[in-house]
């Protein structure tokens, strides 16, 4: 049955054809009755009317059957438990941003107006309509009480979000109940937060109750039985591989523990499983109430002053170590990074045989504060713009941010926005602080990441899902040569930057089954389609 929320109630298709038939005019147009008609004419007319009505009825039934016409949703109530009745609940469960400001007034230049203009979403809206086979299986899988899956999610906040989404998909593939995921202690930040400290666990369970069964703890009947722990999982595993490798084992033992899931599940899943990932990422993983409330308060404090930019500046010490890049702060700071990198070469994630200059021109280095300032200025960001810095503590402290503050003095952080004591409950809890940054960034009019990463990809997909909010992805490989060319004037530089980024503003971008594109970052077309009625 069609989803009533996102299908327009249209007239039956045959009504559009009736006016072209004489019979239609006869049946549907008012006609004056002749005075004192002959009895034989009355009998003949009635007989003809009944005959024509009968024939027309047969024709219409044949037409409807051949065209699979569905009556308007408001006419017939759902008659099957398989009908999609989740849409009203899903439309309320998504984490949505504050509205974009739109036109910012008459006292700005056309370039500035263009900077704030939101991209054309081309009519795409969320559509999580699962197939009939998926929904039939849900009645059984969502009540599973014999097989249980435990997943340990590692890394930072957005790495954990990705692994939790994959865990739900794997539980579905294995037809297992999922124990609320365990968040591994973050060795870099020392964060010992549990799932319920970061996410709303009850909301997580409720949102997924039609897809899988989620339980808070392992049942006592499974605690002392045989347990299988798997941490060495190959990359790009498929549903077929998962089922063949673990299903019989899980059915025998009743409990399976998976670790090290980061980026192991294939990006090219069947359509229903892609929709399930979107359902987890954009609906089920709502932040815990204290985080959600403070994040919204800080977002409102930014929003009330007018349109704002959120930057995800990757200037932390570990980022410079891992990327093999120079900080731009001078030899004193670069020497510190080099020594750490040499003592811990396993941290380097880039290609070993590339020099810093090669890495930078290949787009593998984060933009530093000076480069970000030049880019924003060239794209038309007004100097008075309020900018929210969603990055962590930069290596080099205030010196690292000085070039950006010189061009855009209204740079703020959550520490500056928060009032006395508001951030105290989240001290030394990096995941909670990252979640607050996520919420404020989601509501920004423009979001710009300085260097890819999990948060950048998560916000790219989330901003697309809630209406294609502006997301400028710096084209580092194409633009950096112009940063080095002193012969290019400021006006030419601005024109070049706007042209280079004209098609990377957050417009709908199809995933197109590319092996490196996750549906959470590219929700079109599996999780979004063109509707006349908004999902939200």
Backbone angles phi, psi at 279, to 5 degrees: -60, -40
Are 310 and 327 in contact, with CB atoms under 8 Å apart?
A: no
End-to-end CA, the chain? 21
| Residue range 169-184: mean pLDDT, rounded | 97
Report pLDDT digits (tens) over 277-293.
999 999 999 999 999 99
| Residue range 414-432: mean pLDDT, rounded | 95
Report pLDDT digits (tens) over 91-142.
677 889 999 997 677 788 999 999 999 999 999 999 999 999 999 999 999 9
Average pLDDT, the chain: 83
Distance from C-alpha of 147 to C-alpha of 255, rounded to nearest angstrom: 6
* pTM check: above 0.85: no
Report pLDDT digits (tens) over 227-252.
778 888 999 999 999 999 999 999 99
pLDDT interval class at 75 (50, 70, 90): very low
Higher pLDDT, 354 or 43: 354
Query: Domains, the chain, ranges and CATH?
Result: 4-67 (no CATH), 132-284 (3.40.50.11340)
**Does 3 score more than 50 pLDDT?**
no
Distance from C-alpha of 207 to C-alpha of 269, rounded to nearest angstrom: 21
Q: Is the peptide bond before 430 cis (omega within 30 degrees of 0)?
A: no
Q: How far, CA to CA in Å, does 135 sit from each of 1, 4, 128, 212, 409?
A: 12, 17, 12, 11, 53
DSSP 8-state secondary structure symbol assigned to residue 287: B
Virtual CA dihedral for 20, 26, 27, 28, nearest 10 degrees? Answer: 70
């Amino acid at each position: 049955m069609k989803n009533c929320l996102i299908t327009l109630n249209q007239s039956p298709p045959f009504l559009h054809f009736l006016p072209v038939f004489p019979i239609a005019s006869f049946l549907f147009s008012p006609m004056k009755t002749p005075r004192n008609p002959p009895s034989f004419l009355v009998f003949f007319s009635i007989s003809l009317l009944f005959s024509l009505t009968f024939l027309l009825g047969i024709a219409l039934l044949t037409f409807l059957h051949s065209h699979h016409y569905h009556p308007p949703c408001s006419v017939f109530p759902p008659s099957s438990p398989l009908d999609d009745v989740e849409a009203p609940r899903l439309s309320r469960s998504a984490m949505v941003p504050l509205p974009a400001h739109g036109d910012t007034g008459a006292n700005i230049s056309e370039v500035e107006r263009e900077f704030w203009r939101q991209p054309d979403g081309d009519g795409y809206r969320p559509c999580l309509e699962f197939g009939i086979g998926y929904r039939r299986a849900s009645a059984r899988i969502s009540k599973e009480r014999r097989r249980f899956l435990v997943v340990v999610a590692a890394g930072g906040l957005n790495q954990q979000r990705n692994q939790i989404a994959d865990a739900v998909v794997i539980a579905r593939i294995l037809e297992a109940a999922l124990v609320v995921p365990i968040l591994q202690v973050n060795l870099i930040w020392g964060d010992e937060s549990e799932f319920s400290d970061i996410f709303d666990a009850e909301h997580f369970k409720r949102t997924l109750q039609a897809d899988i069964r989620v339980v808070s703890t392992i049942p006592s009947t499974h605690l002392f039985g045989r347990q299988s722990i798997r941490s060495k999982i190959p990359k790009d595993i498929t549903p077929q591989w998962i089922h063949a490798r673990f299903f019989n084992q899980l059915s025998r033992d009743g409990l399976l523990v998976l670790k090290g899931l980061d980026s192991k599940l294939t990006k090219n899943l069947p359509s229903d499983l892609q929709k399930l990932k979107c359902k987890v990422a954009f609906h089920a993983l709502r932040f815990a109430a204290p985080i959600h409330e403070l994040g919204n308060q800080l977002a409102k404090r930014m929003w009330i002053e007018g349109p704002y930019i959120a930057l995800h500046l990757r200037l932390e010490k570990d980022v410079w170590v891992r990327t093999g890049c120079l900080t731009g702060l001078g030899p004193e700071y670069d020497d510190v990074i080099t020594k750490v990198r040499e003592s811990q070469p396993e941290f380097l994630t880039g290609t070993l045989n590339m020099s810093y200059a090669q890495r930078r021109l290949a787009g593998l280095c984060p933009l530093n504060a000076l480069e970000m300032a030049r880019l924003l200025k060239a794209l038309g960001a007004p100097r008075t713009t309020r900018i929210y810095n969603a990055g962590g503590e930069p290596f080099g402290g205030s010196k690292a941010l000085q070039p950006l503050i010189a061009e855009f003095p209204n740079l703020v952080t959550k520490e500056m926005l928060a009032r006395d004591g508001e951030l105290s409950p989240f001290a030394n809890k990096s995941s909670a602080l990252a979640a607050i940054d996520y919420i404020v960034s989601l509501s920004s009019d423009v979001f710009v990441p300085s260097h890819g990463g999990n948060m950048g990809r998560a916000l790219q997909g989330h901003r697309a899902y809630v209406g294609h909010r502006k997301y400028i992805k710096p084209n580092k490989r194409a633009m950096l040569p112009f940063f080095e060319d002193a012969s290019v004037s400021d006006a030419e530089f601005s024109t070049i930057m706007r042209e280079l980024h004209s098609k990377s503003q957050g417009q709908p971008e199809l995933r197109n089954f590319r092996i490196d594109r996750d549906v959470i970052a590219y929700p079109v077309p599996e999780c979004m389609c063109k509707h006349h009625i908004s999902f939200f």
